[in-house]
Amino acid sequence: MLKAEDCAIVDMAVHASVYEGLYETNVKRFPHNSLIHLERALVDVQSKYLTRIVVIDGVYSQDGGLSKMEEIYELTKKYGAFLMVDDAHGIGVLGQTGRGAIEIFSLLDKIDIISGTLSKAFGHIGGFVIAKPEVANYLKFQSRQQVFSSTSTPAAAGLLKAIDLIDEEPEWRIKLADNVTYYKKGLLDLKLDIGTTASPIIPIKIGNAHKTGNAARLLLEAGVYVNAIVYPGVSRKDARIRTSLMATHTREHIDKVLNAFEYVNQRLQIAKGE
């Protein structure tokens, strides 16, 4: 979509898949959620490139935190750029009606391009892009990922029901939110570092890659599957255990996980200050 005469200004914490779409264009990166550095980049590219587009996530996949979307939107429009938000981890989960992080900031009718996945809240495969008709048509014929992709299988019809269920059964979002609150409190009571998460993605930050690997092994032995995230998934000093909650997790499930983390902390001293 973006060519040699264009430029993407990208939050350094965006999902790795974003970078796969930027190999034919110019890219500037700014530190995560840093408005000062974003504005500096927007000023720098304002007269140099035909199309300038800021790319951010709604919910960031490793920390589970939200973008500073409202302020980023204002800056983007101030300097005449487009804003693209990948809300793969927010849509179906966050917002009053499950429309994602963008709904939280009341920007659903303002974001230029919204992308997301069908593999999380909708329980399918593939992804989607939402934009004005002229942008959508341009992508259909100019995006290599679109032109050379396969047609969805008949199973995609299930997506229509999944979309309906977001509206018809809000109790699942309420249950998920209750699980997140309960789980986060339990982790904080153990003095574990969960960063700034504001979503069902909840990291337990450890910092040491070797200790993180050992923690994941001990958790698995206790019957708890987690993702050990180390370099290059995150910086060398930012290794963590990444956990994700679902609405179908019970209190018994969560208590089992919390008890396992308590055991791991006793063995490895992964709590803050230890």
CATH code, domain with 212:
3.90.1150.10
If asked whether residues 150 and 178 sit together in one domain, one would say no
Distance of CA 6 to the CA centre of its chain: 25
pLDDT higher than threshold 90 for residue 58: yes
pLDDT in tens, 125-143: 888 999 999 999 988 888 8
- The answer to whether residues 82 and 113 touch, using CB atoms and an 8 Å cutoff, is yes
Strand partners, 207: 239
Asked, for residue 83, whether it belongs to a domain, the answer is: yes
Top pLDDT among 17 and 249 is at 249
In the structure encoding, which two tokens stand for residue 19, read together?
A: 């970078």
Q: State which of 139, 165, 191 marks the end of a domain.
A: 165
How high is the pLDDT of residue 180? 98
In the structure encoding, which two tokens stand for residue 188, read together?
A: 């904080």
Q: What percent of the chain clears pLDDT 70, i.e. is strictly above it?
A: 99
Q: State which of 165, 199, 215 marks the end of a domain.
A: 165
If asked whether residues 62 and 109 sit together in one domain, one would say yes
In this prediction, residue 273 has a pLDDT band, given cuts at 50, 70 and 90, of low
pLDDT higher than threshold 70 for residue 149: yes
Mean pLDDT of all residues in the chain?
A: 94
Structure-token match 């900031």, residue found: 105
In this prediction, residue 274 has a pLDDT band, given cuts at 50, 70 and 90, of low
Structural domain that includes position 219: 171-268
pLDDT higher than threshold 90 for residue 168: yes
Number of domains making up the chain = 2
pLDDT in tens, 94-113: 999 999 999 999 999 999 99
3-state secondary structure (DSSP) of residue 75:
helix
